[in-house]
Structure 1
Amino acid sequence: MTDPRTRFADTAVDLVDRDPDTALVYAEIGGQFFGGAAARHPDRVVNVGIREQLLVNVGAGMSLAGMFPIVHTFAPFLVERAYEQIKLGFGHQDVDGLLVSTGGSVDMSTTGRTHQTDADVALIDAIPGVAIHVPGTAAEVEAVMRAAHRRRGRHYVRVTAQQNSATFDAADGQLHIVRPGSSNLVILAVGPVLDAALAAAAEIAHTEGVEATVCYTATVRPLDTDGLSRALAHNTSGKHPDVVLVEPYLAGTSAHVVSSALLDRPHRLLSLGHGRAERRLYGTPEQHLQVSGLDAAGVARSVRALIRAHAA
């Protein structure tokens, strides 16, 4: 299976090679991928060094000058460290660009809290007009990048090492119904948590007799609310829908969007993701997912509790 980070780098270089109006700005991170492109396009492939605020400002300046910048570094450095620059340089000045992070959530769990972020999507969501993509495979990384480059506008792409087993057409931002069900339960998986959601749905069907509809999206802003309505239409139980939102970052990040989409019907919403308590122990990505309840067993445990609370 192709590494998503390598796929990002290959796609970014290809876009720079093909389009003279596209630039690539990075802050040391990822430099091993960009040497050839920098030699070919020294005026459009720029390494600013370990200066993340400058990284974003240079990208925004290039956009003001009429270019389309791809701005890249690790997620905590790009979003949390340079948040003011994103807010003002891109958001306030209303310019286009493609911000691409790697290493979000548990990817760099063994390096400690400095290299972890669960809040990046929530922070970017507070900046108006930014499309947010959370691809679940390397192929989806390329698809959302090329679509963003074609459409222009402001985009944040969150690239992680964790991948799903299957790739979906992510270019149009639509929600996909992966596992049709017949109950009132809908599980909405975002990005690389789909495999865990599907495994949890299979266990719930076996142990609780509840056939959940599992849907998937690689784009959370804007969320395909029409697609969510189509997923809810599989409910033949006559009960109000139960929606379980599974996101690979801070729990509840997209809860307000889902709730707004369901204003016309009574529903229950369970938001799963990483908690707000700081993880102070080093561990593998798999251990962090288990602690956060984002592995298959954890998702199944949370869904089962929701079903049984409703039945009580």
Structure 2
Amino acid sequence: MIDLALFFCKMVLQESKVDTTLFVFEKGQDCLLVQIYVDDIIFGATNESLCKKFSKLMQGEFEMSIMGELNFFLGLQIKQCQEGIYISQSKYTKELLNKFGIEEGRTVSTPMATNVKIDKDSKSVDESNYRGMIGSLLYLTASRPDILHAICLCARFQRNPKESHMSAVKRIFRYLKGTIQYGLFYPKNENFPLKGYSDSDYAEIIDYRKSTFGSCQFLGDCLVSWFSKKKNCVSLSTAEAEYISAAFCCTQLLWMKQTLADYKCSIESVPIFCDNISTINIAQNTVHHNRTKHIEIQHHF
């Protein structure tokens, strides 16, 4: 990696200030982007001649093979067309269904029922098999945000899992069976406003009364980032749970804003959308009284 970075510096490729695996080369109105992942390299340019020149230089310096247009990377299937780019993991999904024997049986329309009760009172199941299913599903969330919340909820019970937990996991697999071709489509567009959405429940899970919060970030109509997480401590109000969710969303948006600067995308203001009036009022209030002092100290970074 060090030798490669030095070689890129000789080629006058500028290292990203945010992502040390990203290198950028500019020539007039054109630019070349190079992304490194371990021993794999993805590169693209606004001018095809830059790609050809970069390929020739890399093959002359290192022992490597050029795979051509990007179609498959780290389990992700990538299809490029005039309208945009489609990313999916249908091949990996089929392998999972075959591995865990979920090829037969009916499908369901949602990854988790709204009235599901995941508790610790039912019979225990094989812990190793349960963890294997969770680990396999977590990798699938790279292109399937629709199953992220359900998987993260089931992942909390990897120690001494019960029958109710296994039933919830198997429902995710039955949902995947009917939605194998689902993925993410990134349409071709010249306008990419950055925006974020945040939300949270309030002490929904009765076993520990900790809130679950999540957010997603869009570039124009393109979903580019998402997460779902259990809060580390118990929130004392709905407003606090929602405000913490918005704060986490804000950190991700700030990182994305800095990263986009390396792609020569300058963004001035970034809106965060939240459905809690109290959270919005606290965010807009420049003078915080004693009851929200802990929020100011912890989250107004």
Above 0.5 in TM-score? Answer: no
- Give the TM-score category using the shorter length: under 0.3
Higher RCO by CA contacts (8 Å cutoff, separation 6 or greater) = 1
Greater Rg, structure 1 or structure 2?
Answer: 2
